[in-house]
Amino acid sequence: MEWKNVYRGILMGISDLIPGVSGGTIAFILGIYDRLLESISGFFSRDWKKYLGFLVPLGIGIVITLLLFSRVIEYLLEHHYEATQFFFMGLIIGVIPYIMKQAEVKKHFTARHMVILLVIGAALAATAFVPTEEDLAPITSLTVPVFFLLFFSGWLASMAMLLPGISGSFILLLLGVYSTAINALSTLNIPVAMAIGSGVIVGFIVSSKAIQYLLEHFTYVTYAAIIGLIIGSLFVVFPGFSTDTATLITSVITFALGLGFTLLFSSPKKTAITEEV
């Protein structure tokens, strides 16, 4: 068992609780993105046992986070929103040079790749101006229609979780299900949590195979899309500048901490690139 994956899972879980921040981005920072996709995809094959050592500790870390940190995240977003968001902006900005180096942008990117990057980045940035249903009362009981709503919401959110730059929590926010998910975790509402969780599992299976295929066969186009998503997510996370001096100073500090975290933990190992597209 790779027990160091427990802390990696904790970090990914924390990021997935924050609207606008992707667990896929954290996986890139930690240098495990390719292995994550391979392990999730391979777990649902005949060779599933060899992926347990990677996935079980990672899953334990994520579950620990979801159970123990959901209330903390609620508190931070309510009482220290700007500082929390600037911390994640530091993470996001710090990972961009690392991914560009992996993609060998100067060597392989053409005008086509830059257009893809800019279009996808602009499309994601535009979602910052989309009104969300964050003030909806959380769902606490299940009916058949509600189950399918939560299931497909979890499915869509999980697909976003694996893509760097897109936040699964933000997808839930757009669908009006974010408060329901956080409430289910913080109050241990098992039926509601399982309805969302089952959709998340199915989404992981489908999206991990799809992303892995794209990275293998359309490597540089996919990297262009990923970089665009990460840059675009900055506009989603950016909370604006506070007029309060103490909040502004705290935000500068947390931004520096996030940036430093990325530089400290980004893996120097290069991801294998299989085919130039």
The tokens for 81 are 């929103």
Structural domain contains residue 271:
no
Whether the Cβ atoms of residue 197 and residue 154 lie closer than 8 Å to each other: yes
192 within domain boundaries: yes
Q: What range defines the domain where residue 227 resides? A: 4-265
Average pLDDT score over residue span 222-233: 88
User: Mean of the pLDDT values across residues 229-254?
Assistant: 90
> pTM for the whole thing?
0.73
Average pLDDT over residues 113-128: 91
Q: Answer yes or no: is 270 within a domain.
A: no
- The CA distance from 237 to 88, in Å, is 8
Instruction: Please count the structural domains in the chain.
Output: 1
Q: Indicate the pLDDT class of residue 192, thresholds 50, 70 and 90.
A: very high
Q: What is the pLDDT of residue 266?
A: 61
User: Is 145 a domain residue?
Assistant: yes
As a whole number of angstroms, the distance between CA 10 and CA 69 comes to 9
Q: How many Cβ atoms are within 10 Å of 204's Cβ, its own excluded?
A: 22
Q: Which residues contact 106 (CB under 8 A, 6 or more apart)?
A: none
Stronger pLDDT, 55 or 98, i.e. the higher one? 55
Tell me if 171 is assigned to some domain. Answer: yes
